[in-house]
């Protein structure tokens, strides 16, 4: 081949792969929009039951067609302490099963005589759905899914045609044959090649497609193709481990568990490699009548047999290893505990995003889920920050007071940065193609984080009032301290109701309780204000005490306003109905 011919092959191959990946992205996003809310609810219901976790991982990965996205999300769940390591491992096992769907789509519809057969009908149906039902979000999303699937199949067809005919290049075939005929070492070599290429591409589905096309063209034999697939299963763990670089120890353990599970799966498969290959070959012969172990030069060879056998193996590999290793989850936990040592410092006082630290995923609806979980973490930090306030009043000396004040000040900086980073993330997500519900959810989230940051500011201002009060030697009597403590408790109750609403489904929040808590704060603030004005008229305390006292209780009431704003932002329609019924 001349240099020009080589460059043409590379360009055609890259373009075909780009069409395949773009089709997969469209297919994934369209399916997410159809089942976006249900998928988010499914993710919220992940339990520590291993079989429930496996089912969850399988369903979610089948829907989004990305095991990497699922595992990155699981790492962030564990990182924030919302999912146990055992539960995370179960979900990861299910994600490996879910990713086998792509191989079957390619094998059944994208190779051989069926290549491109379904593309035109899919395009026709998709265009009809997009233009005839443009205002119906669900049908429009189904149309986008159909276009994505059609492009995926077209990409596979182009990949097939872009592969050169190696029968004309004896030198290359000879070199490939030498690599394939070194016995067990060839298996290990192709596992390493599959791992390395998947780490570089960071898309196991794309590598699986390339492997299937290579098999169909007769480039590699069945055992070598199987070794590539095993390597791809190891290589796909790189994404989660990269995301875990900024995670805490728990998040790192979840990522390492993904790696350990896939490596153990490869070792188990290698231990039964020869009988397993015979079993897969027998199943394939039963399915299509052709032996996948035959070479192109042998009588009875069929190009359809090897891709089919590879898809059967891929399913056997992931389902079989899951059924075996699900009983050894405690052992996997011990291994990752040994691999990752927890940090000694209190990470809660350090600015670190837990769910969106890895950036945007290719799945828009899951980006919204990640943002929701990040907002829940934001709310938890605000509640924790609020618990520091009573310590300022009861501090026995300046050193204790300064330590608590410094911590509040640090948390205030964290809330500012969390608002900025989540806003930037949501802005990027809003630029992608979202469902109507997804767009409305992002608008609500932007209002929520703005008010959460304002709550942090108000808590810091209350700390400043306490600091000024201490520096100017202003003293409250016991009755005044008790009343401040009471409004503090009322606001604390409102904060907890807000936090519960943020952690539930946004369309099922308890606004009645939120408004009741807000009214209790307002009534008590009015009572304190009337008593304060009467005390000033009577000369019960001087101006400095009165000014500080009224400033503190007024700021508590203002903090309560920000709290109710959060709950109202979660469900705008419901808040309007509640207010109208008052």
How far apart CA 142 and CA 130 sit, in angstroms, is 9
Longest dimension (CA), the chain: 110
Tell me the pLDDT of the chain (582 aa) as tens digits: 567 766 776 777 677 667 766 765 666 566 556 555 555 455 445 555 778 888 877 877 776 556 666 676 677 666 655 567 888 888 888 888 887 877 676 666 554 444 444 455 555 665 555 555 555 556 666 667 667 666 766 665 665 566 555 445 445 445 555 666 667 888 888 888 888 877 776 566 667 777 777 777 777 788 888 888 898 888 878 767 766 665 667 778 888 888 999 999 999 999 998 899 899 989 988 888 888 777 766 777 777 778 888 888 988 998 999 999 989 988 998 998 888 876 544 445 555 666 675 555 555 666 787 788 889 889 999 999 999 998 888 888 888 999 999 889 889 988 888 898 899 888 888 877 677 777 888 888 999 999 999 999 999 999 999 999 888 888 888 889 899 999 999 999 999 999 999 888 777 777 889 999 999 999 999 999 999 888 888 888 888 888 898 999 999 999 999 999 998 888 755 555 544 555
> Based on the domain organization, do 287 and 151 belong to the same domain?
no
* Residue 346 is assigned to a structural domain of this protein: no
Please answer whether residues 373 and 355 qualify as being in contact, where contact means their C-beta atoms are separated by less than 8 angstroms: yes
Same structural domain, 90 and 201: yes
Backbone phi and psi for residue 190, each to the nearest 5 degrees, phi listed first: -70, -30
The backbone torsions φ and ψ at residue 476, rounded to the nearest 5 degrees and listed phi first, read -95, 150
Residue with tokens 């026995």: 396
Q: 162, 178, 202 — which closes off a domain?
A: 162
Which of 119, 141, 162 is the endpoint of a domain? Answer: 162
Judge if 334 and 237 occupy the same domain: yes
Q: What is the pLDDT of residue 59?
A: 76
DSSP 8-state class, residue 219:
-
3-state secondary structure of 153: helix
DSSP letter, residue 342: P
Q: Are residues 327 and 369 in the same domain?
A: no
Q: Is residue 345 part of a domain?
A: no
- What is the span of the domain harbouring residue 153? 1-34+100-162
* Tokens read off for 512: 């009645």
Co-location of 433 and 447 in the same domain: yes
Residues 262 and 228 in one domain: yes
CATH of the domain at 526: 1.20.58.220
Domain boundary (112, 147, 162) is at 162
Domain membership of residue 353 (yes or no) is: no
My answer on whether 466 and 505 are in the same domain is yes
Specify the pLDDT at position 237. 81
User: Is residue 525 included in any domain, yes or no?
Assistant: yes
Please say whether the beta carbons of 414 and 377 come within 8 A: no
Are 216 and 324 in a shared domain? yes
What's the confidence (pLDDT) of residue 557? 93
Which pTM value belongs to this model? 0.54
- Answer yes or no: are the C-beta atoms of 156 and 20 closer than 8 Å: yes
Structural domain includes residue 352: no
Q: Name residue, tokens 């231990």.
A: 271
Extended strands (E) in 253-405: none
> What per-residue confidence (pLDDT) applies to 189?
87
- Give which of 318, 443, 355, 362 is closest to 31, Cα–Cα: 362
Is residue 225 domain-shared with residue 263, that is, in the same domain? yes
| Tally of helices (H runs) and strands (E runs) in the chain | 25, 0
Residue 7 lies in a domain: yes
- 28 and 58, same domain (yes or no): no
* Token representation of residue 399: 């050193």
| Residue 40 placed within a domain | no
Contact call for residues 332 and 257 (beta carbons, < 8 A) = yes
DSSP state of 343: P
Sort 213 into a burial class: Cβ within 10 Å, 0-12 / 13-18 / 19+.
Answer: buried
* DSSP conformational letter for 508: S
Query: Are 386 and 532 part of one and the same domain?
Result: yes
Looking at the fold, whether 211 and 232 belong to one and the same domain comes out as yes
Number of domains the chain contains = 3
Q: Are 215 and 208 in contact (CB under 8 A)?
A: no
**Alpha-carbon span 66 to 71, nearest angstrom:** 9
Name every residue whose Cβ is closer than 8 Å to that of residue 81 and which is 6 or more positions away in sequence.
250
Residue 82 lies in a domain: yes
């Amino acid at each position: 081949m001349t240099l020009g011919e080589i460059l043409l092959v590379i360009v055609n191959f890259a373009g075909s792969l780009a069409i395949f990946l773009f089709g997969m992205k469209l297919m994934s996003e369209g399916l997410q929009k159809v089942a976006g809310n249900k998928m988010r609810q499914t993710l919220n219901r992940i339990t520590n039951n291993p079989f429930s976790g496996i089912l969850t991982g399988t369903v979610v990965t089948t829907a989004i067609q990305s095991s990497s996205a699922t595992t990155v999300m699981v790492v962030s769940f564990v990182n924030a302490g919302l999912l146990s390591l055992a539960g995370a491992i179960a979900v990861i096992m299910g994600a490996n099963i879910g990713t086998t769907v792509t191989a079957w789509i390619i094998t059944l519809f994208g190779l051989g005589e069926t290549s491109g057969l379904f593309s035109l009908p899919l395009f026709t149906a998709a265009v009809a759905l997009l233009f005839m039902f443009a205002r119906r979000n669900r049908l429009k999303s189904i149309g986008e899914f159909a276009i994505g699937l059609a492009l995926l199949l077209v990409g596979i067809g182009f990949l097939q045609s872009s592969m050169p005919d190696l029968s004309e290049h004896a030198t290359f075939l000879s070199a490939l044959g030498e690599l394939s005929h070194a016995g067990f070492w060839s298996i290990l070599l192709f596992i390493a090649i599959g791992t390395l290429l998947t780490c570089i591409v960071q898309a196991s589905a794309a590598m699986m497609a390339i492997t299937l096309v290579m098999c169909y063209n007769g480039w590699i034999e069945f055992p070598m193709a199987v070794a590539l697939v095993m390597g791809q299963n190891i290589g796909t763990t790189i994404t989660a481990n990269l995301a875990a670089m900024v995670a805490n120890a728990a998040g790192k353990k979840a990522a390492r568990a993904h790696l350990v599970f896939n490596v153990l799966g490869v070792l188990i498969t290698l231990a039964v490699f020869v009988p397993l290959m015979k079993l897969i070959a027998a199943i394939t012969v039963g399915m299509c009548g052709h032996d996948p172990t035959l070479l192109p030069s042998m009588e009875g060879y069929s190009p359809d047999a090897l891709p089919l056998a590879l898809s059967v193996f891929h399913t056997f590999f992931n389902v079989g290893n899951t059924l075996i290793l699900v009983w050894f989850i405690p052992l996997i936990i011990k291994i990752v505990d040994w691999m990752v040592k927890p940090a000694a410092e209190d990470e809660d006082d350090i600015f670190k995003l837990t769910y969106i630290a890895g950036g945007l995923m290719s799945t828009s609806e899951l980006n919204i889920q990640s943002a929701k979980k990040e907002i829940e973490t934001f709310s938890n930090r605000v509640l924790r920050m609020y618990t520091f306030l009573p310590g300022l009043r009861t501090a026995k000396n300046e050193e204790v007071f300064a330590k608590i004040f410094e911590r509040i000040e640090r948390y205030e900086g964290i809330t500012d940065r969390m608002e900025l980073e989540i806003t930037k993330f949501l802005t990027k997500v809003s630029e992608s193609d979202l469902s109507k519900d997804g767009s409305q959810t992002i608008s609500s989230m932007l209002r929520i984080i703005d008010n959460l940051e304002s709550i942090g500011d108000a808590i810091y201002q209350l700390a400043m009032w306490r600091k000024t009060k201490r520096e100017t030697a202003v003293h409250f009597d016991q009755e005044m301290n008790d009343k401040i403590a009471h409004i503090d408790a009322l606001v604390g109750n409102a904060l907890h109701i807000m936090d519960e609403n943020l952690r539930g489904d946004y369309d099922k929040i308890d606004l009645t309780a939120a408004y009741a808590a807000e009214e209790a704060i307002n009534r008590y603030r009015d009572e304190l204000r009337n008593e304060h004005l009467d005390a000033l008229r009577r000369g019960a305390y001087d101006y400095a005490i009165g000014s500080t006292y009224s400033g503190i209780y007024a700021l508590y009431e203002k903090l309560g306003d920000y709290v109710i704003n959060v709950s109202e932002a979660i469900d705008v329609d419901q808040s309007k109905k509640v207010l109208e019924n008052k």
